[in-house]
Structure 1
Amino acid sequence: MKLKKIILITLLSIFTIVVIALLALPTLGKNYVIKHSKELIGRQVEIEKLKINYFTGTAKVLDFKMLEQDEATPFISFDTLIVDLEPYQMLYDEFVLEQFYVKGLYLNAVQKDSVFNFDDLIAFHTSTDTIPKENTTAEPIKYSLSNIEIKGANFYFNNQNIDHTAKINDLSFFVPFIGWDQNNKSEAGIKFNLANNGYFESSVKVDPKSGEYKADLTVHHLVLDPLIKYAQQSVNINYLKGLVNSKLSISGNINQVDNSTVSGNVQVEDFAMNDQQDKKFLAVKKINCVLKEINNAKSSYIIDTLQIKEPYVFFKLDSVSNNFFDIFKITSEEIQEKEEENKTTTQNDSLFYAINHLTVQQGITDYTDNLTGSPFNYHLSDITINSDSILSDADWLTIYSNMLLNKRGTLKAELGLNPLDLNNLNIDISIEKFKLPDINIYTGYYMGHTILEGDMYYYSNSKVINGQITSENKLLIKNPSLNSTQKGLYNLPLKFALFILTDKNGEVNLDIPVRGDLNDPSLDIKTIVWSTFKNLIVKVAASPGKLLAGLFGGDPKDFEAIHFNYLDSIPSDQHIKQLNMLLDLEDKKPELKIDLVHYVDPELQKEAIAKAEVGKLYFKKKKKDYLKDEKGFEHFVRKKIAQDTLSINKACLALTTPTVIDSIVALTNKTLLTNVEKYLKTTKDSTQINIETASKEAPENLGTKPMLKVNFSMKEE
């Protein structure tokens, strides 16, 4: 009996000691961890309570804190940690976690320069003496993880380089089950709040057998304003705002993550950015993007719908760059490098992109430049763009666009192209009611004229076939009115040319064809168009008669000069007809100044008059017309002068008296001009057609029969 009693007392004592030890173990363990935490994990920790339920295998840690290196400021903390294990399962080489629960988790990460406040922890746990050697011979252990949950976590990242703290508040995360060789799908969910009532939420489902997974991600009311300091590291801006909402689904196989596909919807609302001068340069009321399938591994990007509402762009051009290059820090060297890279990089034939429906509504663009020394500002509004089925492998696609030009004019455009071959495309453009005074800065700077009034209508049809451009451009200007500044870079006679081009209805119609080879690197379409227009203006101003003949009818030569014979002193019927056309032209274009300038070669006219005077003697002697009896007349003259070396005209001149011939010449010319002027005044007493005699030294006199050259100009000039 004594032996049994001793054994019983001994067992009770051992049990009591074990119970006391087990009861004291949490406190002892907590104190040990606190005392030796720097040796164990590299930082000082604080623990309020540690509880262990030996029957359920549950451990609970309350009010845990890991301090910063200063041992005063919390780095990581949480209110409650519950870990529920099934230790006996380890006997069967299986790790079983029934519950892992963390509540009130707090983390404060700090960065200054390239140093983080947890670098010492990384260094501690990656040192060679703290990393256990990998057991390459051990069999993989089975595991079963259930009810993994984080609730009410708050993460803070203080980036002192930009003086900004990013926050993730009220983070929740729950995974029902993850197991090795499990039969059921694993599910996981995470949710945390963002500023201004926003939140991020996700759920993931994984089939462990096949490896197939699907992740649903939701971003609600993500405010972009707090990201400005991060953006300012790459972009020169002073202001950023916007709101993002998205629902995305990512599906694929965990064994081929790169081959995953993304689908869903992304919305951006009230987005705006200001430059460093607080000028808004990019904004949009709403973007709605429906992603049908994005697969980067297959280079396939399919967007079902892209809707852009009320976009705004401010574009400012200067002589060497533009505001977008300045804001986004794009240098000319980078552009050149990119161009060289594109030349050497072969096109990825497997790339596929598609936008099934594209719409842009109520867009606005403000354009400005200072290329002429004065600011030019232009406003485009009500911009709409739409297209269906933009496919990279399509043989042809068409894009339509409309817009309002400076609140009045309209532009309609249709672009057709082969996405795989930009050497083949069609462009149709229609511009109506364009206010010409809007471009006075350019017309004054380049052409020396400002436009007081006038509307422009422009219609263009351009085709590019195998790189060869054929562009037909029709320009209609209604009621143009210009003012000359005489300060243009090219000083083109634009005012006079437009005046000549203006028909009886006050309209100017021009055809400007453009031809060229886009494969020629030296080709500049702007230069071709400008050269064509400039040459047309110069040509019209230099030879207005041809155009006037076309506008009012008649032979172009009739508007260039009135030709006479050397002996003419009275206008013929043909001359009268030409004079009548000029009088009619004067009525139709009262601003037109018409000058008739008399040109004649005096020596040739003297010879002709001397020949006529000798011809009179021949008629008295022979009773024959010297013009009809050329041989008899020549024999008569040779006999009179007794010299064979002179031409017949020179011989006649030698047979006459110079003073008499000079007198007859002067009288003939004076009489002709008097009779022409008399006819003009008699027909129209208010005519302002001016008749004058050219200088004797004028080069146009040489070899010229008498003529009245018609010169056109504008009266005010």
Structure 2
Amino acid sequence: MHSFSKITSRYWYRSRLFWLLFLLSTYALVGFLVLPGVIKNIAIEQIEQNLGWQGSIDKVELNPFALTLTVNQFAIQDEQGDSVVAFDRYHTNIQLRSIIEGAVTFSNFELAAPFIKLVIDENGKTNFHKAIEKARAKRPEEVAKTDEGDSKPPKLLFDTINVIGGEIEVIDHTQEQLIEHHLKPITFALTNFSTYANKSGAYQLEIALGTGQHLAWNGNIGIAPFHSSGFLKVSNLRAERLWTYAQSKAPYKLTHGLVGFEGQYAASMDQSAPIFELSNATITMEQLQVALKTAEETFLDIEKLTVGPLDFNLAKQKLDISRLVVDALSLKIERNAEGQLTILAPLSKTSNNETQEAAVSNEIADADSTNDTAQPFLWSIGEIQLNNSALNIADLQPSTAANISIDNINSRLSGLSQDMTKSLDFGLSYYIENSEKSEITGQITPTPFDLKAAINFDKLALSTIQPYLNDHVRITIEDGALSVNGNLTLAAGADSDAMTGDFAGSININNFETIDQSVKERLVGWQDLSIEPIKINFNPLAIDISDIRFEQPYGRIIVTNDRSTNLAQLAVSKPEEATQPTTAEPAPEQPDSASAQSEGKPVPVKISRILFNNGAAYFADLSLKPQFGTSIQNISGEISGLSSDNLERASVDIKGTVEDYGKALVKGKINPLSGDLYTDLAVKFDNIELSTMTPYSGRYAGYTIDKGKLNLHLNYKIAKRMLEGENRLILDQFELGNTVDSEESVNLPLELALAILKDRNGVIDIDLPTSGNMDDPDFKFSGLVLKAFANVITKAATAPFSMIGSLVGGDAESLQSVSFETGKAELTAEHISNLEKLSKALNSRPQLMLEIRTNIDEQGDSDALKKIKLDNRLVSSSGEQRIATLEKLIAGRVGQPKLDEIKTNTLATTNTSEQAAAENSEQNTAEQAAIEAQAYEKALYDTALETESVSSLELTTLAKQRITSIKTQLIDQHNVTNEQVFALQPSLEGQAKENRVITTFNLSTR
């Protein structure tokens, strides 16, 4: 009361209460009425001075007693009048404890509906930056004084900071395409925040980044020095919006992707080094879609990619990722007609720039490497997983485009880290279209490379490779499944380029069927092919196989209309090869001695057994009329002991059925894998119906085959590249049928040849030896037996007696004729022996007919017959009786005058000779008389021989006698049937040589 009364007195100015009330009134008046206007004006003025923009504030409320400040409807417009900064309400409350704490303390800091519009131009400058630069350019002195100020932050304390309903709009012109970001609503809460050293406050930040996009951040933060820790979560961040900033540098475009992150973090800055740690963090990327810049369709789609939980420590330079999981990845790879992968095309365009940048980076790295003592970065990934993924390959390079789909791909890799010397567990499984599951599991060591894997390829469809076959062979794979099971090991050798290792397991190809595209017929196939167990050593290459089993194998060989085989027509010729100009071949590189030696040696191969069961083969010749076809069924057997070792010999034992009842057998020893190519094989074909061979006999022989069966026994021996063949051909009851008009038929008496070769039982049994040097360029395996048989037939038809000589012994000349002494019909011992051999051939070949033609030399045989007849007249006389007989014959034939003339001439010649002899020596009378008688007798004999007559009947009789002598030996002595021996009309045109006349034989057939 005293104080109040004092105020009402005239000494009011002495009252403390008055001054207190005055001060309070003034404080309230200034706080409530004056300062809000001042704050408003100063704020607007500062905006104009520092930014050059217009500011507006609807209302500023200040409560000087509560120490609260509220600003409503604040806005800043740029030069174009667009709002760039705004908020609905700003409210703060300063605490009186600021006096005690020595810092400005705010109990509550609220900002409602803040808005910021950030415009970034082509050069990267923001609208705020440009506005500040423009404003500072107008007052450079004030700017310099401001820049010289202390940058130490003021001491501030915030009990709570709340931002509600915030919005940030970003318009970015830095990229080729305009980018706009709208971040709203933004909610932020921070408690107990201060600018004190080593103090921090708790915060909570939530930002909606668009539909479904969200950022949540909570923890604590301090700024002196900066330190923060907490939990950050980002959900459904639209990665394609951020990818736009990398679009100009990146080779591809990200068309869609949702990125998420959550985890604990701790970060701080001190004077030594920044500290940053992540713990229990997870990064997720969902619905990733990647495409080429020029394409709309994506080539890479990932449903979800998860990295984590992960821990990262910047100070320790350590990153630990528990798992990296890729779910439902879909990759499309296309190779164009030029053989280039389309997804790699963008990389080639930037390769030059990247190479230059890499060179600069390498130079910098090399310069810094000498001073680099930084701690090595440590990283690890516990497990990498690929789940339920797919790979689609479109290959346009083959003439027929290939499309391969690999589905349900699942893989894993465990224990990956910077230590590449550790062994890593891995697994991979997938399904190729129309195939069953394939799987690979094992361990791999990157450095030095080492791989141990279990492989299980289950029924891979071989038809998948059909587009690649079409460019090389005219074969269609109708069916077939490849299965591979085994263990694979690979390791880097001492030489980095050399790789050692092996494979041990089994290989199966089931239900394999191929079609010859030219004739649309089955070509090669089998029900099952199994190779097990097999072991392959890669360096040096060596192959060891226990069993190769063929179940129901099949092969088809066709001779087409142009007489080429279907196998020869399978290869697809390339037009560019035919038109390619010939160029000089480069000089071959000279291999070193080690490689040359290795190339000269065969690859070590061992195959214990190759088994065939119930196989079949078919051969057809479409060039014949009628067309020819035959088959071999029930092919079964085995080849055992195959080896590339020159000393090893493999056993062969294979049987089969030709047509219905024929038999085929292959048996012996071979070594096809060695350099020597040793072979000792017996091949037998028995009971083969020859009537099916009529198309061939008609073309080449001019006859059909009426009947007959073939037995062919072949024995080939090959050693040191030399072939020796002992072949036996047996034709049973072989009969030619009707003639066939063929321009290719041989003009030979084939019926005679067959009659010569066929024995009494109707069997042709011929040995056909063959030989040759396999290194001879003219040597060919094909047709060896056929060529030998053709030679035998030709020989039998053109030189039948030569063939008979080879069959029964003897030479052709001695068997095909008999030489008689002129005038005689007696056979010599040699003749009888040769006729005996000829009889054997005729007896064993009843179809053969022997034709005998006797030759008579009219002059030679007549002279011989005259002498024989005269000698027969004088056989019983001698001496004077012989002379008397001769005188009587001469007198009777030519008359007495002729006889007297002979006597006179003889005596005259004798006397002349006697007179000459008498002059030289004396002779007795008896000797002279004997000489006269001898000369006279000779003259009489010569005259009688001249006058002896031989009739044509006598010559004919001589011919018959000669035929009789021959027939007697053949028919009577050696039992040749009379029906096989024919005497032809004698020939009087024979020519005697050395007093012998030839009687010739000729062979024919019934």
Identity, % of aligned positions:
16
What SS does the aligned partner of 1:92 have?
A: coil
Correspondence for 1:458 among 701, 712, 737? 712
Match for 2:258: what amino acid?
A: K
Using the alignment, how far apart are the partners of 1:578 and 1:184 within structure 2? 94
Aligned mate of 2:946, from 639, 653, 656: 656
Tell me if structure 1 keeps the 8 A contact 2:644–2:674. yes
> 1:118 is paired with a residue of what secondary structure?
helix
1:288 aligns with 2:530: yes
Per the TM alignment, residue 249 of structure 1 is displaced from its structure 2 partner at its CA by 1.9
Deviation of 1:298 after TM superposition, in Å, equals 0.9
CA distance in 2, matches of 1:175, 1:649: 132
* Matched position secondary structure for 2:312: helix
Query: Which residue does the alignment assign to 1:45?
Result: 254
1:437 aligns with 2:437: no
Q: Give the deviation of 1:57 after TM superposition.
A: 1.6
* 1:308 counterpart letter in structure 2: F
Equivalent in the alignment of 1:248: 486
Residue 630 (structure 1) aligns with: none
Q: What residue number does 1:406 align with?
A: 659
In 2 relative to 1, CA 214–125 (structure 1 residues): closer, same or farther, beyond 3 Å?
Answer: farther
Aligned amino acid, residue 38 of structure 1: Q
Structure 1 residue aligned with 2:288: 64
Aligned counterpart for 1:696 among listed residues 980, 988, 992: 988
Q: Note if contact 2:643-2:650 (Cα within 8 Å) is conserved in structure 1.
A: no
* Secondary structure, counterpart of 1:91 in structure 2: coil
Secondary structure of the equivalent of 1:324?
coil
The one-character-per-residue Cα deviations of 1:610-647 (angstroms, maximum 9, x if unpaired) are: 22343356457637999xxxxxxxxx9x9789799xxx
Number of the residue aligned with 1:631: none
Q: Pick closer, same or farther for the CA change 1:580–1:117 going to 2, 3 Å.
A: closer
Residue aligning to 2:550: 308
Q: Residues 231-258 of structure 1, C-alpha deviation per residue, up to 9 Å, x if partnerless?
A: 2132223453211222232113356671
- For residues 509-562 of structure 1, the C-alpha deviation after alignment (integer angstroms, 9 at most, x for no partner) is 223333444455555566875665455445545676688799999999997556
Q: Which runs of 5+ in 2 are unaligned?
A: 1-96, 107-156, 162-189, 194-200, 208-214, 218-233, 265-279, 579-583, 883-898, 910-937
| Contact 1:213–1:254 (Cα < 8 Å) also in 2 | no
Shift of the 652–320 alpha-carbon distance from structure 1 to 2, 3 Å rule, reads farther
Matches within 5 A, 1:55-94: 55=264, 56-69=280-293, 72-84=296-308, 86-94=310-318
Q: 1:690 to 1:442 in 2, by over 3 A?
A: same
Q: Secondary structure at the match of 1:327?
A: coil
Query: Among 491, 510, 514, which residue is 1:269 paired with?
Result: 510
Q: Work out whether residues 546 and 607 of structure 2, in 8 Å CA contact, stay in contact via their aligned partners in 1.
A: yes
Letter in 2 for 1:51: G
Deviations 1:406-440 (A, max 9, x none): 34322222342455342643222233212233433
- Distance in 2 (CA, whole Å) between partners of 1:272 and 1:479 is 40
> Aligned residue for 2:1002?
711
Displacement of 1:607 in angstroms is: 0.4
> What secondary structure sits across from 1:323 in the alignment?
coil
Query: Aligned AA for 1:665?
Result: E
CA distance in 2, matches of 1:197, 1:469: 48
Aligned to 1:379: 631
Structure 1 residue 677, shift from structure 2 partner: 12
Q: 1:221 is aligned with what amino acid?
A: K
Query: Match of 2:205?
Result: 19
Count of aligned pairs: 696
- Contact kept, 8 Å, 1:598 with 1:708, in 2: the verdict is yes
The 5 A counterparts of 1:163-182 are 163-181=401-419
Q: Which moved more, 1:80-89 or 1:595-604?
A: 80-89
CA distance in 1, matches of 2:881, 2:552: 90
Letter in 2 for 1:253: A
Matched position secondary structure for 1:439? helix
- SS of 2:331's partner is strand
Deviations for 1:275-305, whole angstroms, at most 9, x for unmatched residues?
2232221212111122532222212122232
Rounded Cα–Cα distance in structure 2 between residues aligned with 1:148 and 1:235: 42
Q: 1:224 aligns with which of 462, 468, 473?
A: 462
Q: What displacement does 1:678 show?
A: 12
Aligned residue for 1:299? 541
Deviations 1:629-674 (A, max 9, x none): xxxxxxx9x9789799xxx99985885358x423453463477489
Q: Deviation digits for residues 24-68 of structure 1, max 9, x if unmatched?
A: 866677464254352353443244533211323212222222234
Give, in whole Å, the separation in 1 of the partners of 2:287 and 2:835. 112
Task: State the partner residue of 2:726.
Answer: 472
- 1:500 maps to 756
- Larger mean CA deviation between 473-482 and 677-686 belongs to 677-686
Report the equivalent of 2:871. Answer: 615
CA distance in 1, matches of 2:282, 2:840: 113
Correspondences of 1:123-134 after superposition (within 5 Å): 123=348, 126=351, 128-129=353-354, 133-134=361-362
Q: 2:917 maps to which residue?
A: none
| 1:447–1:489 contact (8 Å) kept in structure 2 | yes
Aligned-partner Cα distance in 2 for 1:585–1:415: 35
CA contact (8 A) 1:611 1:649 kept: no
Matches of 1:287 and 1:393, distance apart in 2:
25
Summarize deviations over 1:152-196 as a string: whole Å, max 9, x none: 112222334534422111211222321234897421112222334
Partner of 2:71: none
Q: CA deviation at 1:145?
A: 0.6
Give the match for residue 855 of structure 2: 599
Q: Tell me how far apart the structure 2 counterparts of residues 650 and 224 of structure 1 sit (CA, whole Å).
A: 110
1:396 maps to which residue? Answer: 648
> Equivalent residues in 2 for 1:96-111 (5 A)?
96-111=320-335
Q: Cα deviation per residue 1:547-579 (whole Å; 9 max; x = unaligned)?
A: 879999999999755676655689999999999
Cα distance in 1, alignment partners of residues 469 and 940 from structure 2: 94
CA separation of 1:41 and 1:482: change in aligned 2, threshold 3 A:
same
What amino acid sits opposite 1:414 in the alignment?
A: K
CA contact (8 A) 1:262 1:291 kept: no
Matched, 1:157 2:350: no
Q: Which residue of 1 aligns with 2:152?
A: none
Q: Check the 8 A contact 2:819/2:997 in 1, yes or no.
A: yes
172-181 or 144-153: bigger deviation:
172-181
Amino acid at match of 1:250: L
Is it true that 1:146 corresponds to 2:382 in the alignment? yes
Q: Does the Cα contact within 8 Å between 1:236 and 1:329 map onto a contact in 2?
A: yes
Q: Deviations over 1:375-404 (max 9, x none)?
A: 543323322352333221251212313232
The letter for the 2-side match of 1:75 is: F
Alpha-carbon separation, structure 2, partners of 1:295 and 1:570? 83
Structure 1 position 696, deviation (Å)? 3.4
Distance in 1 separating the partners of 2:382 and 2:542: 38
State the match for 1:665 in structure 2. Answer: 954
> Any residues of structure 2 matched to 1:498-537 within 5 Å, and which?
498-518=754-774, 520-523=776-779, 532-537=788-793
Within 2, Cα distance between the matches of 1:165 and 1:258?
Answer: 32
In 2, Cα distance between equivalents of 1:458 and 1:283: 28
| Cα distance between partner residues in 2 of 1:218 and 1:670 | 93
The 5-angstrom pairing of residues 518-667 of structure 1 reads 518=774, 520-523=776-779, 532-541=788-797, 560=816, 591-615=847-871, 618-619=874-875, 622=878, 652=942, 655-657=945-947, 660-663=949-952, 665-666=954-955
Which range moved further: 171-180 or 122-131?
122-131
After TM superposition, give the deviation of residue 603 of structure 1 in Å. 0.9
| C-alpha separation in 2, matches of 1:689 and 1:129 | 104
Is 1:122 equivalent to 2:347 in the alignment?
yes
For 1:232 and 1:528, the matched residues in 2 are separated by 35
Cα 1:370–1:615 change in 2 (3 A) is same
TM-score by length of 2: 0.59
